[in-house]
Amino acid sequence: MKKQKDLSNINTYLIVALVIVVAIGLYFTLSVPTVKKEAEQPILAKQLTLTLVGADCKDCFNVSVAVDFIKQQPNINVTEVKEISLEDATDTIAKYNLSRLPALLISGEIANLTIPNFETREDSLVFDKAPAPYYDVASKKVKGKVSLIVLEDASCKDCFDMNAVVAQLKQAGVKIVTEQKVDAKSDEGKQLISTYKIEKVPTLLFNKEAMEYDVISQVWGQVGTEESDGKLVLRFVNPPYVNVTSGKTEGMVNLIYLMDESCAECYNATVLKELFQQSFNMYFKGEETIDVTSTKGKMMVKKYAIEAVPTVVLSKEATVYPNFAAAWNSAGTEEKDGAFVFRQVSLLKDYFAQSGGNFSYKNLTSGEILSGTSAPEAITEEAEITIPSEEE
């Protein structure tokens, strides 16, 4: 079963940033100036008529939520709600120069009434900036009806689950009218890979209507490309993924906890795994705990010149995670064999202080148990010795 990933990152990436829910309160926050009066004099509610234009567009944004919001505002009394269908809206569109439907008109006592995203036109306050999907008056078509292809390697059970991304896009209001899954190894999948020069799967392909959504258009320049035929191809893919050229799955990280079992007061190194998952959405294929007094532990301490434990060693697959290598510069070293060794253990002191936990670690050179105030300096060179094989 595919792993479900935390998508606070996709904003991490798109995703990462791909999910911004349109808050109706942002669109329709009312600002009603009040006149200074005696405390005992009540403020008279403004008497308003609301007119929905083109609200019968079944594929469009539901503008009735704006009506409900306005009705709930203090000092507002909605006396009537009218509806004008798309078919009958020609004159109204012309009179108020409407560009998108559904639109909302507010008439009546609108003097000194201001609402963000509403404009005064003729005798009404007009809102015709409905988010997608909307009816475009100029083209007479509904914009924002998205077709989506999820291109994946069906054999990769550990790959990043794009279904979770699709679910969040839908939750953000993206109108996906057709959704297709294509196996990268099928004839259709191979054709898509060839046509759009796709290097990693799983990925997503949208029609150009997806650019009608701010949640996509505002970040697409950083995460994907728009092809000559209008197709949008997601390029910034979160690991694990299949490298199409090599056929190998990349981003499946092995994690080694290196610890001293005699140090009962030392911090629990598993918090580092949690931080890697939260910060980089990192996927771990395997985990191993090694004691520094064991043969393998001694060899690792010497190989990587490790001075402080508990610590962790990540396999070279960690390098494919976006921003990981840059962040690692202040936390540890990248070794000649590609492994990543966490060295600045004292950086965790503040983390444990915030969580209310005790923090201590062991300096292997002096044998002292330290509280995090004097971390050993990062080692930039490694000893020329090979790590023992599994048989050893």
Residue from 151, 159, 241 nearest 191 by CA? 151
pLDDT on residue 109: 95
Options 3.40.30, 1.20.120, 3.30.200, 1.20.58; which CATH number does 144-243 get?
Answer: 3.40.30
Give the tokens for residue 54.
């083109």
pLDDT on residue 372: 55
Q: Report the alpha-carbon angle 133-140-220, nearest 5.
A: 40
pLDDT at 385 over 50: no
Q: Quick one: average pLDDT of 179-191?
A: 98
Cα–Cα distances in angstroms (integers) from residue 168 to residues 182, 209, 304, in the given order: 20, 17, 42
pLDDT on residue 206: 98
Please state, rounded to an integer, the average pLDDT across all residues of the chain.
86
Q: Quick one: average pLDDT of 348-377?
A: 80
Query: What predicted TM-score, i.e. pTM, was given to this entire model?
Result: 0.77
Looking up tokens 């540890």 gives 332
What is the C-alpha to C-alpha distance for residues 368 and 350, in angstroms, rounded to an integer? Answer: 20
pLDDT on residue 377: 44
What is the C-alpha to C-alpha distance for residues 150 and 162, in angstroms, rounded to an integer? Answer: 7
Domain ranges of the chain: 23-136, 144-243, 251-370
Q: How many CB atoms are closer than 10 A to CB 354?
A: 8
CB within 8 Å of 384: residues ≥ 6 apart:
none
Cα–Cα distances in angstroms (integers) from residue 297 to residues 100, 183, 259, 312, 384, in the given order: 67, 43, 8, 12, 16
Q: Quick one: average pLDDT of 174-189?
A: 97
Q: Quick one: average pLDDT of 63-81?
A: 89
pLDDT at 184 over 50: yes
pLDDT category, 9, cuts 50, 70, 90? very low
CATH of domain 23-136: 3.40.30
Tens digits of residue pLDDT in 29-58: 444 444 454 555 566 889 999 999 999 999
* Fold assignment, 251-370: Glutaredoxin (3.40.30)
Q: Quick one: average pLDDT of 226-230?
A: 97
Q: Quick one: average pLDDT of 238-248?
A: 96
In this prediction, what percent of the chain has a pLDDT beyond 90?
Answer: 73
pLDDT on residue 42: 61
pLDDT on residue 266: 95
Topology match between the domains 23-136 and 251-370: yes
pLDDT on residue 43: 66
What is the C-alpha to C-alpha distance for residues 115 and 117, in angstroms, rounded to an integer? Answer: 6
Tens digits of residue pLDDT in 142-171: 999 999 999 999 999 999 999 999 999 999
* CB distance 225 to 232 below 8 Å: yes
pLDDT category, 65, cuts 50, 70, 90? confident
